[in-house]
Structure 1
Amino acid sequence: MLKLAYVTAADAEIADTWLQRNLSEGGKPVLLAEAADLGFLEALAQRFGLQHFVLPGAPHWPEALSLRPLLARINDRGAEAAFLCAPVPFGMVFRSNEIVPSWVEHFGAVRVLHELGVRNFEFVAGDATHRAQIPYLVDNLIDRHKGQRAFIVGNGPSLRQTDMSLLKDEITFGSNRCFLGYEDWGYAFKYWGISDRLQIEMYQEEYEQGIDRDSIKFFPFEYLNFLRVTNACPIPVVSDLRFGSPTSLRFPYFAETPSTVFNAFTVTITLIQIAAMMGCNPIVLVGVDHSYPIARAKRRGQGEAAAINLTPLVPPEDLVRQSKLGWDFWEGNAATGATHFTNAYSSNKVFVPPRTAWAETAFEYCRLWGERYGVQIVNATIGTHLTSLRRVDFNSLWR
């Protein structure tokens, strides 16, 4: 198997140590670096007598043509890539004092190598090595369902009145704890996604055990070494707010390339963008009730605040002054009515309060984007409170 080594000038010591060890064991890796580190790459290649290539900024840049000799060798022998660079420490939002390594800043290089056929990656930082298999990136899924209908299924209580058997043979996207309905519905969704950091961090094991093995799973790339699932498709997610920035809100946006996917207060928005890149048309929402009977929310260090949908009422400038989202939350057991399709979904769980008013703005932008590019994005949720998307009758879709 061909060994590839991605190096950066900023982490020359890591590269030097790894290469000396690898060469002493009989290895002869191919060196890779980005254009900004070309001088360092050439010097390192000359010193160790190794072949080297410069990586383009994205898989489909014209410069990628220079990698054709490498592509032939990967197709013939297979390959694994070692990233010889220190990660940026990623402090988890909802797990106190826990830090995990994140290589998000090198996601562009991962994309290029993945396009060449690399699926096994090693991320090396000093004595620590983190191994990950990346079966999918969104790049591999572009136009996979071009012109086909897809359903993005929310987890609202309206699913109790929805004939879910009709979706069995459809292209389906689910999220979060949708797997709690699989046994009753008799099938699993083809795709699954999560973007809520509280859910990922607090309920990691539940998701790892509960998600259907065969579905393709979308989640933020920085959790690659944390959320261990099969058929992973890590995505670079840009959040709604840039904390500490004088510009409070950075949405709405709509991702059109796999380099970035935007998260706008609900994973449904993220999945709409992915479905659009996969060529799905129309994109139909089901179970997106967009209404939460929450009587109160708790604020860290400040007890309870008696307000319905507390967070949407908070001025954006107040959110910016906070270092992290999640400084207020609601407990599932305290809801005054059904919030999801099964009571087991929220029982003994805590959540970041929904931001329905701001999410509505993002849904409106999805509609405008769809109208501009000829992609129908409609809402077939029974009794939905979402007003920005055109509503269609669920049962009429099979007539």
Structure 2
Amino acid sequence: MNPKALIKRIVPNRVWQFGRSSWDGIQRIPGRVEAALHPWRRDSIQKLRALKDVHKGERCVIIGNGPSLNKTDIQKIRDEYSFGLNRIYLAWEEWGFTTSYFLSVNDLVIEQCAHEIMALSLPVFISWRAHRWLEPQDNLHFLYTTYTGPKFAKDVSKRVWEGATVTYTALQLAYHMGFSTVVLIGVDHSFSSKGKPNQTVESQGDDPNHFSPHYFGKGFRWQLPDLETSEVAYQMAHRAFLADGRQVLDATVGGKLQVFPKVDFDQYFGK
């Protein structure tokens, strides 16, 4: 048994998690200081603070990228405030409208799609780690996101835990903006591709896991999902919204996620 496994076996889990979180926090200090001093990040902090509660009491839709989008009458939400994630823009021409906001925090997605992201004109939110592939723009907001240190950020001008899914980051952003009701669609929470969570793989053909076969098409590098960690994150989001008298609803057609209350998409958004 390796030393790390032995320590985890002896030390109570709560103590182990506290120690790990503390150590992760110490390791993040240099990066946080560097980011805080960078003019691009400082500018983003001010822009993010200005967005605090700008949609207080309103409703929004967070649009995942699962195949269920192809079974969803997307025109019913064209007039809703909405968050689009990663390569959602591949669907915009067919839809005839764009989302209100765009978000991506995955390094591989941003690196390979930087020129597409830079061409977007709507408000864009990107992980600070990816600033090396981008240039500052008025519509660009850099979020200081991390892989470790589980938390639900009620103020996204500060550190934001990614929770192994961009959807969780979107939930924190929606909370920050003050939305009282968030509706999830396209969050299928299931993948045909199997393997070690977070492992980087290269697509060998059409993408079966998203709404378009070209989403992560042949040659695209991406990371296999970590559904277990994302469920932990979703539980944190559920509790945070409820504690503040707000709600997250799941209107995904045939979605497998069981954390949030389910609503029927067509009934909820009407005919």
- Select 2:130's aligned residue among 219, 223, 228: 223
Contact 2:83 2:102 in 1 (8 A): yes
2:230 matches 1:359: yes
In structure 2, the residue matched to 1:281 is 180
For residue 332 of structure 1, report the CA deviation from its aligned partner.
3.0
Cα distance 1:225–1:189, how it changes in 2: closer, same or farther (>3 A)? same
- For 2:56 and 2:66, the matched residues in 1 are separated by 28
In structure 1, the residue matched to 2:200 is 329
Relative contact order, higher structure (CA 8 A, sep 6+)? 2
SS in 2 for 1:358: helix
Contact 1:155 1:341 in 2 (8 A): yes
Cα distance 1:333–1:106, how it changes in 2: closer, same or farther (>3 A)? same
Cα distance 1:269–1:381, how it changes in 2: closer, same or farther (>3 A)? same
In structure 2, the residue matched to 1:137 is 47
In structure 2, the residue matched to 1:239 is 147
- For 1:108 and 1:146, the matched residues in 2 are separated by 29
Contact 1:137 1:235 in 2 (8 A): no
- For 1:199 and 1:135, the matched residues in 2 are separated by 23
Cα distance 1:271–1:107, how it changes in 2: closer, same or farther (>3 A)? farther
For residue 393 of structure 1, report the CA deviation from its aligned partner.
0.8
Contact 2:83 2:99 in 1 (8 A): yes
* Structure 1: segments with no counterpart, 5+ residues: 1-87, 91-101, 115-133, 241-249, 295-307, 312-325
* Structure 2: segments with no counterpart, 5+ residues: 1-28
Contact 1:152 1:172 in 2 (8 A): yes
Contact 1:136 1:232 in 2 (8 A): no
Cα distance 1:264–1:186, how it changes in 2: closer, same or farther (>3 A)? same
- For 1:370 and 1:309, the matched residues in 2 are separated by 32
2:37 matches 1:106: yes
In structure 2, the residue matched to 1:44 is none
- Select 2:153's aligned residue among 222, 238, 255: 255
**Cα deviation code 1:163-209 (max 9, x no counterpart):** 11111111000111000000000001110011111112233223334
Contact 1:309 1:355 in 2 (8 A): no
Contact 2:47 2:141 in 1 (8 A): yes
Cα distance 1:385–1:334, how it changes in 2: closer, same or farther (>3 A)? farther
Across the aligned residues of Structure 1 and Structure 2, the Cα RMSD in angstroms comes to 2.6
**TM-score normalised to the size of structure 1?**
0.55
SS in 2 for 1:364: helix
Contact 2:35 2:41 in 1 (8 A): no
Map residues 115-264 of structure 1 onto 2, 5 A cutoff.
137-209=47-119, 212-213=120-121, 215-228=122-135, 231-240=139-148, 250-251=149-150, 253-257=151-155, 258-264=157-163
Contact 1:238 1:262 in 2 (8 A): yes
- For 1:108 and 1:261, the matched residues in 2 are separated by 19
**AA partner of residue 104 (structure 1):** A
Cα distance 1:160–1:235, how it changes in 2: closer, same or farther (>3 A)? same
**TM-score normalised to the size of structure 2?**
0.80
Map residues 50-129 of structure 1 onto 2, 5 A cutoff.
103-106=34-37, 111=42, 114=43
Contact 1:104 1:222 in 2 (8 A): no
SS in 2 for 1:344: coil
For residue 225 of structure 1, report the CA deviation from its aligned partner.
4.9
How many residues align structurally?
A: 238
For residue 236 of structure 1, report the CA deviation from its aligned partner.
1.3
Write 1 or 2 for the structure with the bigger share of strand.
Answer: 1
In structure 2, the residue matched to 1:388 is 259
**Cα deviation code 1:285-329 (max 9, x no counterpart):** 1100011101xxxxxxxxxxxxx3422xxxxxxxxxxxxxx6x32
Percent identity over the alignment is 29
- Select 1:369's aligned residue among 233, 240, 253: 240
**AA partner of residue 116 (structure 2):** E
- For 2:204 and 2:41, the matched residues in 1 are separated by 42
SS in 1 for 2:241: helix
SS in 2 for 1:150: strand
